[in-house]
Amino acid sequence: MKIGGRHTYMLSLESVAMTDIILNMFIFFFISFSLLYTFNSHRIQKLDIKLPKAASASMIQEQEQVNISITNENLIFVESDLVSLKELKRLVSRSKEQNPEVTVILRADRLVGFKKIVEVLDALTEVGVTNLNIAAVKE
Q: What is the CA radius of gyration of the chain?
A: 28
- pLDDT for 99 beyond 90: no
Strand-pair category, 103-108 with 65-70: parallel
Q: Is 37 exposed, middle or buried (0-12, 13-18, 19+ CB in 10 A)?
A: exposed
- How far, in Å, CA of 112 to CA of 70, rounded? 7
Question: pLDDT digit string (tens) for 35-51?
Answer: 887 766 555 556 667 77
Give the DSSP H or E segment for 69: strand 65-70
- pTM, two decimals, is 0.61
Within 13 A of 102's CA, how many CA atoms are on the CB side? 21
- How far, in Å, CA of 96 to CA of 127, rounded? 8
Delimit the domains of the chain by residue range: 53-138
Q: Which residues contact 80 (CB under 8 A, 6 or more apart)?
A: 45, 47
Question: pLDDT digit string (tens) for 49-67?
Answer: 777 777 776 666 656 788 8
CATH topology (fold) of 53-138? Nucleotidyltransferase; domain 5 (3.30.420)
